[in-house]
A = this chain, B = another copy of it.
Amino acid sequence: MDKLTVKQQKVLDFIKNFYVEHSVMPTIREIAAKFKITIGPVQDYLDILQRKGYLNKKDAVTRGLEFANMSKFSPVPILGSVHAGTFLEPVENAQDYVYINTDVTRSRECFALKVRGDSMEPSGIVEGDTIVISKDAPITNGDIVVAMLKEEAAIKVYNKISGKVVLSSTNPAYPPIYPKDYKVLGKLIYLLREYKN
- Contact bitstring A169-197, B, C-beta under 8 A = 1, else 0: 00000000000000000011111111101
Q: Which A70-103 residues have a C-beta within 8 angstroms of B? A: 70, 72-75, 93, 95, 97, 99, 101
The verdict on A191 contacting B193 (CB below 8 Å), with A61-B24, A99-B101 known, is: yes
Contact B195 A144 (CB under 8 A): yes
Is A16's CB within 8 Å of the partner chain B? yes
| Chain B residues closer than 8 Å to A126, beta-carbon distance | 123-124
A26 to B86, CA, bound (A): 42
| Chain B residues closer than 8 Å to A125, beta-carbon distance | 124
Interface size on A, residues (CB 8 A): 47
| Chain B residues closer than 8 Å to A161, beta-carbon distance | none
| Chain B residues closer than 8 Å to A93, beta-carbon distance | 1
| Chain B residues closer than 8 Å to A64, beta-carbon distance | 24
Residue ID in chain B nearest A121 by CB atoms: B124
| Chain B residues closer than 8 Å to A66, beta-carbon distance | 23
A positions within 8 Å CB-CB of B: 1, 16, 20, 22-25, 27, 54, 58, 61-64, 66, 69-70, 72-75, 93, 95, 97, 99, 101, 104, 121, 123-126, 129, 137, 140, 143-144, 187-195, 197
The one of B20, B62, B129 in contact with A124, judged by C-beta atoms closer than 8 angstroms, is: B129
Residue ID in chain B nearest A96 by CB atoms: B69
| Chain B residues closer than 8 Å to A192, beta-carbon distance | 190-193
A86 to B28, CA, bound (A): 46
Residue ID in chain B nearest A125 by CB atoms: B124
| Chain B residues closer than 8 Å to A63, beta-carbon distance | 24, 62-63
The verdict on A75 contacting B16 (CB below 8 Å), with A24-B61, A66-B23, A70-B97 known, is: yes
A62 to B65, CA, bound (A): 13
Q: How far is the CB of A174 from chain B (nearest CB, A)?
A: 17
A71 to B186, CA, bound (A): 27
